[in-house]
Chains A and B, each alone.
Chain A
Amino acid sequence: MTSKNVHVKIDEMKTSTGLIKNLEVSIGKLVNDNWTEPMGPTPMPSLTALRDWDMKLLNKYKPFYMPDCDLCCLCTFGKCDLTAGKRGACGLDIAAQSSRIVLIACSIGAATHTGHARHVVDHLIEKYGRRFPLDVGGLNVKVEAPVTRLVTGIKPETLGDLEEVLEYCETQITHCLSAAHTGQEGNNLDFESKAFHAGMVDQVGMEVADIAQISTLNFPKADPEAPLIKMGIGSVDTSKPVIMCIGHNVVPSVGIIDYMKESKLDDKMEVVGLCCTAFDNTRYYDRAKIVGPISWQLRFIRGGFADVVVLDEQCVRTDAFDEARKVHAPVIAASEKNCMGFKNRTNDPADEIVADLVSGKVPGVLILDPEKVGEVAVKVAKQIAPIRKKMNNLPSIDEIKSLAKTCRQCNLCQRSCPQDLIIPAAIKAAAEGNLAPLTDLYEECIGCGRCEEACPVKLQIHSFIIKAGEKFMLEESNLCRAGRGAVQDVEIRNVGSPIVLGEIPGILAVVGCSNYPHGGKDVYDICREFASRRYIVVTSGCSAMSAGSYRNEEGKTLYEEFSGGFEAGGVLNVGSCVANSHIAGAAIKVANIFAKRNLRGNYEEIADYIHNRLGAVGLAWGAYSQKAASIASGFWRLGVPVLVGPHGAKYRRMLLGREDKPEDWDVYDARTGNKVNVGPAPEHLFQTVETPQEAMVVIAKLCIRPNDTWKGRSIKLSHYVDLHKRYYGCMPQDLHLFVRTMADVPMTLKDEFTKILEAKNWKETVIPDPTLLPRMIRKMKE
């Protein structure tokens, strides 16, 4: 699609019908639409256009609230105590307030991705022009922007086409956030519906950001064999000057990498990244390295490895500057959203800024020109590395032993630790000369530093843990596959049928941040378990890093052990946070490419298809952020269940089905219009799981869908039973809810199933053509 502004002015024109004078015509947009697919019912849906669909889901999956705070402090009537049914001064109760917080979180997340997308698109248009063609996979990807097509009805072809898409997103996010104002929305389910809306818009914003950068910056284009990237502090050559980029926006890093290459310094320096910038750096430049997930910022800065720290946006520690100053590493803030209080030096000569940073005259600067960021960062790193000599801010072992003796054993460190790590005992042992308990904390520590903030004698407890675990830290050297971006259309064609029929037992998307309850190994174990069972495992973001951070008995990382294709037993990393849109995109493309459903502005039908037929589950084992909330919310609206690890309970609201209420599980059979009870498939839309063992059992169960063929259901049930027996030590008690005919029963388990089915008074039912939408019922033949 192309569109442009048209303005015609005629001072005087003689025509056969008369004289025209001073005619002025202005057309906001001239649309050249060569996409022949008919427009569906909800192009660019408004805040309420999909409300009925949301309510269908929310009726099945009702909110279970766990308020994280009893109060509302958002207006000057407050603080209002909302405990146990009390209403606040505005009339809101705790259910609505809890959903309101969910809406606010999802709106922040959507705004963050969309703001990121806006910055990337504006920058790339300035650099490459509006007519630059979008290309996310050459001939292998014809449906280049499935989420955008589905939601907006626009088929973008050029960078310029993305502007209109972003305008839609920006408008909707503004509406979503405005609904959270005091005295606007008051009903909890309407807040939830708006949170779904924010999540849907978020998926569009993410997709825009990623397809723009893939197309222009030559990232891997839907490539199952995207390069394997070195990862971990141990993979960094610290004898070279090191530039560390933290955040999510690749644009400043591109400036750094380009300048480094132009100056022929690319083999003389290291560019490393933390969090999603790391991924996008490696998609641009395969010699860039990934240090680790978001939680390792303090490790790397205090360890003194970085000679220059470049901060862009999102998930950047707001005290990164203070930490970097302690190791004399200059900081460059490179995003309007994260200025860090620095003076704006964008218009100053580069060499002048370099001199100020190297001399220590200023510890940090704000530079909003990515090319200048590149020049300054490279020059500063080169000049300051020999001066800094990788100065670190870690105590020596002897200092730890000595300082530990000042500990009062007050327990405040443990009581402030999100992980409840038994720090006091480790400090006590250190005081007695034994550092082993501190070393044991290294893997589980999420690097937040709250222990240090709580310590009344100001012990640098996190630094103690880093030092005690230093050997592990320096040995961390693994491989992660560079983010491949989209899933190819041909891959969808190959797996569409076995997924929808249930013969590939499911798609597991392991995404999100690294607020893990017991370190990243759980992510690796879960991914490996399901890849070995021939599920399709998709990773992204910090979880993709954790998935690659461990090795099997043959010394292979997950990305070496399994293929990078979207296929049974594949483990594919789509990329950074914004690449999560490709996971939604793959689900949407199954409906479009395999099932031939129209996408254009046809959200409800496609979501209904995905919800009832596609055995996909998201797992955000360490989700912490508002962006993770909005990513999850986008999947909720598509009807895809999302699991979070135990810290995810702090999102304070789950969306849970009730398997003990059969009346909740009716669908229409589109062939006949009859209502058919299909059981709790899937049982939940948003659930916290407590342990990795529980996660594995629940994942297998949540992949069950009403549309499964008997063969597919049998395969899914055999995985569910197998994992249940292994981790729960017994047969599941709810099998009668998932068996429709005896053909669904796995052959090898027939006797065990039969006993349960008889005990539960099971009755055979039919396999419907499932839908929640009455309009999808086909007329019965006479």
Chain B
Amino acid sequence: MSCEPWQCAEIAATKKANPIQKPEIAVAMIKKASRPILIVGSNATERWMEGKQLIEYLIDFAKASKVPVVATAHMVGEFLKRGYEPAGFMSAMDIGNRLVDPEWQGLDGKGHPDLVLLIGLPYYMEALILSGLKHFAPDLKTMTLDNLYHPHASWSFPNATLEEWAANLKVITSKFEGGQ
């Protein structure tokens, strides 16, 4: 596993993501957060691991962890098709824009998220949104659950194979009560 940016030229300056060396670290961060959200991008139906689409892993995780999901692009329809209703859906730009607004009170109107999990956006889009959050929401913790190292996140898994990714997602899900 490597902590080089997945896209070679995606270089950060002085603030780079802490590598998540094992999935339990991600679990601890999620459990510690009081208002986490999970942003799911359009690659959720493009990536396959062990014969399953990424979105299926994410539904398992969301159900287990109760982390509210924001579906970007047309992913809301893909979730609904699979019997899971995300907490919200909006464009990737819109959710990024709300997250840099400290006044925004979250999808439920009860408070600003304190941890943002991102997964499944095109790498370069996710990198840019993470950069926006790094610069303009410095108090917000960000974590990517992709298998690609994202230097602009607060926390990122190193580059990993699809098999390792699937294993990590399964471990994370299993550590929540609903994922047992």
Contacts and interface: CB of A to CB of B under 8 A. Distances in A.
Interface in B18-62: 41-42
A64 B100 contact: yes
Given A64-B93, A85-B138, A690-B125, A729 B76 contact: yes
Contacts of B129: 66, 649
Interface stretch (A415-423, A532-540, A573-581): A415-423
A252 interface: no
B124 A67 contact: no
- Among A64, A82, A517, A652, chain B packs the most CB atoms within 10 A around the CB of A64
A95 B100 CA distance: 12
A68 to B, nearest CB: 7
A650 B131 CA distance: 11
A689 B14 CA distance: 30
Nearest to A698: B91
Instruction: Using C-beta atoms within 8 Å of the partner chain, give the interface range for chain A.
Output: 35 or more
B97 A690 contact: no
A84 B80 CA distance: 37
Interface class of chain A by DSSP: mixed
A689 B42 CA distance: 11
A517 B15 CA distance: 29
A168 interface: no
A652 B128 contact: yes
A379 B30 CA distance: 71
Nearest to A726: B77
Contacts of A355: none
A114 interface: no
A690 B76 contact: no
A691 B42 contact: yes
Interface string B70-86: 00111011101100000
Contact of A656 (B13, B97, B136): B97
Nearest to A70: B13
Nearest to B99: A64
Interface string A644-665: 0011011010101010100000
B15 A694 contact: no
Contacts of B73: 689-691, 693-694
Contact of B134 (A69, A84, A697): A84
Nearest to A65: B132
A350 interface: no
Nearest to A79: B13
Given A649-B124, A690-B91, A454 B12 contact: no
Instruction: Using C-beta atoms within 8 Å of the partner chain, give the interface range for chain B.
Output: 35 or more
Contact of B136 (A65, A654, A697): A65
A449 to B, nearest CB: 15
B91 A418 contact: no
B179 interface: no
Given A67-B131, A649-B128, A81 B14 contact: yes
A42 B124 CA distance: 41
Contact of B131 (A68, A517, A690): A68
A420 B120 CA distance: 13
Given A84-B15, A658-B97, A690 B132 contact: no
- Among A69, A81, A727, A729, chain B packs the most CB atoms within 10 A around the CB of A729
Contacts of B89: 728
B121 A690 contact: yes
B148 to A, nearest CB: 9
Interface in A663-707: 684, 687-691, 693-694, 697-698
A83 interface: yes
A119 to B, nearest CB: 34
Nearest to B7: A415
B72 A690 contact: yes
A397 interface: no
Given A415-B6, A687-B93, A727-B77, A420 B135 contact: no
Interface in A42-85: 64-71, 81-85
Contacts of B116: none
Contacts of A83: 13-15, 134-135
Contacts of A71: 13
A416 B7 contact: yes
Interface in B64-121: 72-74, 76-78, 80-81, 89, 91-94, 96-98, 100-101, 104, 121
A756 interface: no
Contact of A646 (B13, B124, B134): B124
Interface string A8-44: 0000000000000000000000000000000000000
Contacts of B124: 418, 646-647, 649-650
Nearest to A686: B93
A64 B96 contact: yes
B122 interface: yes
Interface in B135-156: 135-136, 138
Given A416-B7, A649-B125, A688 B92 contact: yes
Contacts of B122: 420, 517, 646, 690
Interface in A85-140: 85, 94-95
B123 interface: yes
Contact of B132 (A67, A412, A697, A728): A67
B76 A728 contact: yes
B138 A727 contact: no
A730 interface: yes
B125 to A, nearest CB: 5
Nearest to A727: B74
B91 A689 contact: yes
A64 B81 CA distance: 32
21 contacts: A64-B93, A64-B132, A83-B135, A85-B135, A85-B138, A416-B9, A418-B124, A454-B8, A649-B124, A649-B129, A658-B98, A660-B98, A660-B104, A687-B91, A689-B73, A690-B41, A690-B42, A691-B74, A694-B91, A727-B74, A728-B76
Given A650-B124, A690-B125, 12 more contacts: A64-B132, A66-B128, A69-B13, A82-B135, A84-B136, A652-B128, A656-B97, A658-B98, A690-B73, A694-B73, A727-B74, A728-B74
Interface of A: 64-71, 81-85, 94-95, 412, 415-416, 418, 420, 454, 517, 646-647, 649-650, 652, 654, 656, 658, 660, 684, 687-691, 693-694, 697-698, 727-730
